[in-house]
A and B are shown apart, each in its own frame.
Chain A
Amino acid sequence: MSQSNAHSSGELSHLADEESERRTPLIADLRLWAVIGIVALLIAPHFIYPVMIAKVLCFALFAAAFNLLLGFAGLLSFGHAAFFGFSAYVTGYCLQSLGFSAELGILAGTATGALLGLLIGALAIRRQGIYFAMITLALSQMVYFVCLQAPFTGGEDGLQGVPRQPLFGVIDMTRNINVYYLVLAIFCFGIFIIYRAVHSPFGQVLKSIRENEDRAISLGYDADRYKLLAFVLSATLAGLAGSTKVMIFQLASLTDVQWQMSGEVVLMAVLGGIGTMLGPILGATIIITLQNELAQIGSLTTIVQGAVFVVCVLLFRRGIVGELSHRWNRWRGRSDGRGGDAPRTVQES
């Protein structure tokens, strides 16, 4: 007892530091995780099949892009497959039929994601909440039908055997390991952009709109413009992820534009933790691993995904990372002094 008092008084002088630490506990300290993660990912392909990790990274970027919208702007899009899949088609077409080099193909796909995001976003932000979700779902279904019938998408077959054109016209991309490092670079770039967006004045305004849109408007922020910007940014990065996928699998297919894909990315974010930086990455890793394990039986994947959804929403609304960081905060709150304990536990709900 006296020991713990001494302990807490000894830390009094660092109270200011502690306050900021409380908001970002060690297990959620992103710089630490970034360093560990990048080092691990650099050496990982020597132990694990690189295509498998590249797939996880690709979907992690997709989920993080989705989470930018849901976690930080409070907008639930049920149509992100449209950006992911349509960009994949454009990249595939550019690489296969136009002979673009890898970086130009990916750039074209990403730009397509941005443009499509601008169109769909401008329509969807006209309504809020559940209507927003339904509109994005409906518009993405429209994109699906366009992909099904458009002449350049290969219909039911999709684009198969898309060539891995050399990067910048010189670097050989036919080797899996080279593709892996390209994907890793793209992943880090995408996550960095999201990190910067969230931790910027722009991100703060988005959060304020999420918490109370009317008040943000009354303070002079053009909420619609911010929401549209967030939507376009998210769609662009989803498009980047889709384009990257073509480089990995040399394939663009209807699976990528289907509504199930939109649901999958929602699940990744919800499972990992909405509104956290690491959550979507963890969620994507779990879901992709799960899919690989259950790959033989397609219907079983659907059942398990549905069950995970239900369990997450009922018991685990913060997601894995959100829950861990919440527990960590509470544990810290209990271990140092009782004074600051009450206000922090009030957060529980």
Chain B
Amino acid sequence: MAFFDIPLPVFMGQLLIGLINGAFYAVLSLGLALIFGLLNIVNFAHGALYMVGAFVAFLLLDILGIGYWPSLVLAPIIVGLFGIVIERLLLRPLADLDHLYGLLLTFGLALLLEGAFRHFYGVSGERYAIPDSLQGGFNLGFMFLPTYRAWVIAASLIVCIATWLLIEKTRLGATMRAAVENADLVRAFGVNVPLLVTITYGFGVALAAFAGVLAAPIYSVNPLMGSNIIIVVFAIVVIGGLGSIKGAIVSGFLLGVCEGLTRVFWPEASNIVIFVVMAIVLIVRPAGLFGKAA
């Protein structure tokens, strides 16, 4: 069985890689969109915190012997708390200034984190083993599906949908959406908006760390893993528009798949295809696929 002269297993294999990358893109751009909604800043440190998440999982295992499953919960909590400290100490003073300052500050943070981990762990990266319970895979007849990769896609989807439900269907989510629309008015109703902002930042950052733990067994745990992915995620965010939670999730998966398919048909272009899509979207629909017209 072949598809455009390309053997089906190869095709499906790249599609799978695309879906996995898409899962990371989706979780990361979801966090960016949440943070942007309430803080009005683009969190440049998002990629670095994704990397820190992976490293926390690695260190928990390496030093304390804590395995994958507890790390999947612990690492996001640790990084989320770190994010709360960052928000309170560094981002809060910038709240009333031009949004570009937030971007510059978080860029500086990203450099700091990346430089610090590079200083101690080099650039070669550390291995993180797939947990025993997720070893092996299924033979689907036309391809071999490793269990861990299936788990990554499922876990990302679950987290994305849960976050979406949280924002759209719960009272807390309704308050958050209201605060995005008009923070002052919500505050006048007695809601502690600054606390909401802090929690949102912590939660967005925890999402990044969660993606980092998921990624740890697939890619090596590497100080540079964050900066490589964040620029792609930025392009995806430009394509999808930061205003929409659903847009962030859908465009994340969509562009991951798009990248995977390009790797089948024209491998050299797979690195740049997302940027090309971004350029086309900017020409055809400058506000982004899911964005409201400015």
Which residue numbers of A lie inside 8 Å of B, CB to CB? 76, 123, 126-131, 133-135, 137-139, 141-142, 145-146, 148-149, 259, 263, 266, 270, 297-310, 312-314, 317
Query: Can you spell out 24 A-B residue pairs with CB atoms less than 8 angstroms apart?
Result: A76-B100, A129-B100, A133-B42, A133-B100, A134-B42, A134-B237, A135-B238, A138-B231, A138-B238, A141-B275, A149-B268, A259-B231, A266-B107, A305-B108, A305-B115, A306-B112, A306-B114, A306-B115, A307-B112, A309-B105, A309-B108, A309-B111, A310-B105, A314-B93
| Contact of B187 with A by CB under 8 A | no
Alpha-carbon distance between A145 and B274 when the two chains are bound, in angstroms: 12
What is the 8 Å Cβ interface bit string for chain B, positions 75-99, against chain A (1 contact, 0 not)? 0000000000000001001100101
Residues of A near B286 (CB, < 8 A) are: 126-127
Q: Say yes or no: B112 contacts A127, CB within 8 Å.
A: no
Residues of B near A137 (CB, < 8 A) are: 231, 234
Residues of B near A127 (CB, < 8 A) are: 238, 282, 286, 294
Alpha-carbon distance between A312 and B110 when the two chains are bound, in angstroms: 15
> Chain B contact residues (Cβ within 8 angstroms of A): what range?
35 or more
| Contact of B271 with A by CB under 8 A | yes
Residues of B near A141 (CB, < 8 A) are: 231-232, 235, 275
Residues of A near B119 (CB, < 8 A) are: 297, 299-300, 303
What is the 8 Å Cβ interface bit string for chain B, positions 102-143, against chain A (1 contact, 0 not)? 011101111111111011000000000000000000000000
Alpha-carbon distance between A125 and B41 when the two chains are bound, in angstroms: 19
Q: Say yes or no: A313 contacts B111, CB within 8 Å.
A: no
Q: Known contacts A270-B104, A309-B105: does B111 contact A142 (CB below 8 Å)?
A: no
Alpha-carbon distance between A194 and B62 when the two chains are bound, in angstroms: 54
A278 to nearest B CB, angstroms? 20
Instruction: Specify which of A129, A130, A263, A270 lies most central, judged by the most chain B CB atoms within 10 Å of its CB.
Output: A130
Q: Say yes or no: A302 contacts B118, CB within 8 Å.
A: yes
Q: What does DSSP make chain B's interface, helix, strand, loop or mixed?
A: helix
Q: Known contacts A127-B238, A303-B116: does B103 contact A138 (CB below 8 Å)?
A: no
| Contact of B218 with A by CB under 8 A | no
Residues of A near B275 (CB, < 8 A) are: 138-139, 141-142
In the complex, number of A-B residue pairs with CB atoms less than 8 Å apart? 122
Interface residues of B in 201-216 (CB under 8 A from A): none
Which residue numbers of B lie inside 8 Å of A, CB to CB? 41-42, 90, 93-94, 97, 99-101, 103-105, 107-116, 118-119, 227, 231-232, 234-235, 237-238, 268, 271-272, 274-276, 278-279, 282-283, 286, 294
Q: Say yes or no: B42 contacts A130, CB within 8 Å.
A: yes
Q: Say yes or no: B100 contacts A123, CB within 8 Å.
A: no
B123 to nearest A CB, angstroms? 9
Residues of A near B109 (CB, < 8 A) are: 306, 310
A40 to nearest B CB, angstroms? 31
Q: Say yes or no: B279 contacts A131, CB within 8 Å.
A: no
Residues of B near A317 (CB, < 8 A) are: 97, 101
The residue in chain A whose Cβ has the minimal distance to the Cβ of B234 is A134
Instruction: Specify which of A299, A300, A304 lies most central, judged by the most chain B CB atoms within 10 Å of its CB.
Output: A299
Residues of A near B107 (CB, < 8 A) are: 263, 266, 309
Q: Say yes or no: A76 contacts B111, CB within 8 Å.
A: no
Q: Say yes or no: B111 contacts A263, CB within 8 Å.
A: yes
The residue in chain A whose Cβ has the minimal distance to the Cβ of B94 is A313
Pick the contact of A76: B103, B116, B278, B283 (CB < 8 A): B103
The residue in chain B whose Cβ has the minimal distance to the Cβ of A127 is B286
Alpha-carbon distance between A267 and B216 when the two chains are bound, in angstroms: 31
